[in-house]
Amino acid sequence: MAQNLPQLPPWEQVSTNVIRILGGNPGKFTLQGTNTYLLGRGPRRLLVDTGQGEQVWADTLRSVLQQQSPPATVAACLLTHWHHDHIGGVKDLDALSAETRSSSPGERVPVYKNQPTLDPDGLLDTDRLLEIVDGQRFRVSSAPSTSGGAGGDQNVTEGEETFEIEAIHTPGHAKDHISFLVTQSSDPDEVGAIFTADNVLGHGTAVFEDLSAYLDSLALMKRRVAESIVAQDGGSGASEGASNNKIKINVNNNIKKRRAFPGHGAVIDDAVAKIDEYITHRRLREEEALNVLRFGTTTRPDATGGELVHDSITTYEDDGDGGEGEAASETRHASAAGAGLGLGKEITSGKEWSSIELVKVIYRHYPESLYQPAEYGLLRVLEKLRLDGKVVKTPEGKWRISEKATL
């Protein structure tokens, strides 16, 4: 677990329409615990994720609902992805519903998930799940409602406060991974905020199962937040290129930032900046792997300032139970290239490297106990580079630079 993580309370009103409730499962895989979110201000709320089934989470959720004025209920539960530390509390929702509202016998809280049948651990009753699709919107209002679910386009009476989020399919961390963008709120500063689930964390970096999809998703998340900011600002301070699906913000125009609410860790004050940081981090990882395969060091021989070295790493590794993987919290400084390893700067494009050999160069300042989680992430970087045609995997499972690779 990352050192010196800020302490988070069991529950906290982190924004006008957002209450964060910790899952009660702190650890090296989950940081301070899984973040679940109760959304809206009226008697019917949306719930994003359910933790991993700890009783303390269910007790806290019950208490928070009862403390609202008037007391609130869960109108619908939205699961961001299939990992066990996000879906384990689904089993508690029906009993909670019966306690907190007058409901018909056997009435169940609607539970939504992308790709409902994707449940590798068998923890969900997939027959009860409703599908989340890309672009679907979920809305709750401040007024009492006796009919209609949170997933439809309900009529809203004038004067009511409405809170609405849009589902964005953002695979990479998991195939069914969903982020949610705030599209309507009584608080204008919330519009454009994003619930990032496990694609972006409050501390460190996140694991991914498909790096290409992950980078595409990060770019999409950044673009959607930026577009929302620009739309609220009247379109000033931005230039958009439709052909490359990118949007650039002129930071000198004082465009307001939007927050990100992650699946683990503290609230992120600037979603666009944090996503940019994630993208840059992953691109640097690719560059380092290519440099080692070609030159034997993590930087090109003609690079100025020495080699990039990672001072610290925080593991967030696979616990063998369908959970999360590696996350790294890293900083860099310059140092002599290849110190103590006898690595020269000559081009070594013909050399074949095992993944652990690459780890020993890229992460040589780390203890060996961290090599395994580092290798987990590096293998996914190498696979992306292979698909990009930049590296070749030999029949023996080793890696070498492709003749087509360009640096």
The 10 Å Cβ neighbour count of residue 314 is 21
* Whether residue 219 sits in one domain with residue 136: yes
Residue 4: inside a domain:
no
* Whether residue 374 sits in one domain with residue 315: yes
Residue 57: inside a domain:
yes
Mean pLDDT per 10-residue section of the chain, whose length is 407 residues: 80 98 94 98 97 97 95 96 98 79 67 98 95 98 62 51 97 98 97 98 93 97 96 62 45 71 98 97 94 92 56 36 36 31 45 96 90 92 96 96 70
Residue 277: inside a domain:
no
* Whether residue 244 sits in one domain with residue 128: yes
Residue 3: inside a domain:
no
* Owning domain of residue 196: 11-269
* Whether residue 263 sits in one domain with residue 198: yes
Residues near 283 by beta carbon (within 8 Å), at least 6 away in sequence: none
Residues marked as catalytic: 85
* Whether residue 259 sits in one domain with residue 319: no
* Whether residue 196 sits in one domain with residue 307: no
Provide the pairing of β-strand 129-131 with 137-141. Answer: unpaired
* Whether residue 321 sits in one domain with residue 244: no
Residue after which a domain boundary falls, among 269, 300, 330: 269
> What confidence score (pLDDT) does residue 95 get?
82
* Whether residue 209 sits in one domain with residue 299: no
Give the CATH number for residue 89: 3.60.15.10
Residue 115: inside a domain:
yes
Q: Do the beta carbons of residue 42 and residue 70 sit within 8 Å?
A: no
Residues near 110 by beta carbon (within 8 Å), at least 6 away in sequence: 75, 76, 77, 130, 149, 150, 151
DSSP 87: H
* Whether residue 49 sits in one domain with residue 169: yes
Residue 200: inside a domain:
yes
Cis? peptide before 71, omega within 30° of 0: no
Split into its structural domains, the chain has a count of: 2
* Whether residue 265 sits in one domain with residue 295: no
DSSP class per residue in 178-189: EEEEEEE-SSGG
* Whether residue 350 sits in one domain with residue 201: no
Could you tell me where the DSSP H helices lie in 233-367? 271-295, 355-362
The 10 Å Cβ neighbour count of residue 67 is 11
Residue 274: inside a domain:
no
> What confidence score (pLDDT) does residue 234 get?
73
Euclidean distance between CA atoms 352 and 294, whole angstroms: 10
The 10 Å Cβ neighbour count of residue 368 is 9
Q: Do the beta carbons of residue 296 and residue 338 sit within 8 Å?
A: yes
Distances from the Cα of 264 to the Cαs of 204, 269, 330, in angstroms? 10, 14, 17
Residue after which a domain boundary falls, among 241, 269, 297: 269
Residue 5: inside a domain:
no
* Whether residue 149 sits in one domain with residue 35: yes
Residue after which a domain boundary falls, among 238, 269, 300: 269
